[in-house]
Amino acid sequence: MLNIKAPRSLIIFLSLISVFAYFIFLMHKSLHAEQFESNKLTIFYAAGLNASMNAMFKEFKKLNPSIEIIGESGGTLLLIRKITELNRQPDIIFVADAQVISDLLIPKYADWYINFYKDRVVIAYTSRSKYTNEINTENWYKILSRKDVRFGYASPHLAPLGYRTLMLWKLADLYYKDKPNNKSIYETLKESPPAENIMHDAAELLLVLESLSLDYAFVYESTAKQHNLKYIQLPPEIDLGNFDLEELYKQARVEVISKKGQKQIFQGSPIAFALTILKDAPNYRKAIEFIRLFLNQEGQKIMLANDQEMIIPCVAYNPKSVPEELRDFIHPRPKTLPLGQE
């Protein structure tokens, strides 16, 4: 059998050619991925952020004119199900309740989240609503339970605003200690509105209220202000807007049922909206850029213009997993450990 050995120089040459070809392949793949990344940014966001997000998209487009922003608004639980049940892959999700991220996205779809904005629940109404000269912080539940009064709220199975409304009613039982019609406030109000008065999210609820099909609606205070609606501000003991009353709020629990029939218990807590970047974000770098703009002074101005008070500095869950580029916005800022000590 012949044993033909190639010259060493030829072997080295061929090896270099192989390495160079592989390098060219990687460069092409990287450039292709970069080109793909630079085209689209998909953002899911809670309906309560509609006004602020529309303004944020315009600001981001000024800095990134080649980016196509695909924004999807809706009830937080509905948006989450698009990820967990329909295998959708947004880059960023903004939710109306951080518990949704911790319970339904971590650890499979995300590692961390940032609480960035706080609010409270109020009862909004229009100039055409009934009994506006009578309703106040002490008798609102009695007015709403009248047979000729039409009120609505968001679905607790689709939006945090919905299950927070139910929590508010449970806290009202603790606060007022009243039994209208020999029933709890929670039972009385739960039985009052017909199914058609329970909307998908805050945006749909506002449309129906402003069309005068409802007299009253439970919404976030910022939403009422954005739409120049009159509203009843409720006691802090029940409106879920005071971070000093967290232990009190925990006494209210609400069961939510998913589309697949799965049950989940949500516990009362101060209202805090949260954001995260998904693990498999198709456009991770632009997602970072968008959140930096959002949490920076430009985003703060936009939120403030829409009566939405940002938490400054923001509070993060699992802060050491928050991308380095975003850590200046959270408190306390996690220390970066030396390589090998993480």
DSSP class per residue in 143-205: HHTSTT--EEEE-TTT-HHHHHHHHHHHHHHHHH---GGGS-HHHHHHHSS-GGGEESSHHHH
Residue 104's SS3 state is helix
pLDDT of residue 56: 97
The model's confidence at residue 16, banded by pLDDT at 50, 70 and 90, is low
- 100 and 77 in contact (C-beta within 8 Å)? yes
Helix (H), strand (E) at residue 42? strand 40-46
Confidence of residue 339 (pLDDT cuts 50, 70, 90): very low
DSSP element (H, E) containing 301: helix 297-305
Look up tokens 């805050």; give the residue: 202
Tokens of residue 62, six digits: 């000024």
Instruction: Of 3-7, 178-182, 216-220, 306-310, give the lowest mean pLDDT range.
Output: 3-7
Residue whose tokens read 């199975």: 157
User: How many CB atoms are closer than 10 A to CB 75?
Assistant: 28
Q: DSSP code of 229?
A: -
178-189 pLDDT, tens per residue? 998 889 999 999
In this structure, what are the phi and psi dihedrals at residue 62, rounded to the nearest 5 degrees?
-60, -40
pLDDT in tens, 241-294: 999 999 999 999 999 886 667 788 999 999 999 999 999 999 999 999 999 999
Residue with tokens 């869950």, as numbered in its chain: 317
pLDDT tier at 34, thresholds 50, 70, 90: very low
Query: Rounded to whole angstroms, how far apart are CA atoms 133 and 110?
Result: 48
154 vs 255: CA distance, rounded Å: 15
Q: Which CA distances in Å does 329 have to 46, 126, 161, 215?
A: 21, 38, 26, 41
In which order are the strands placed within the sheet that holds 151-154?
198-199, 151-154, 216-220, 121-125, 230-232
Indicate the pairing of strand 216-220 with strand 121-125: antiparallel
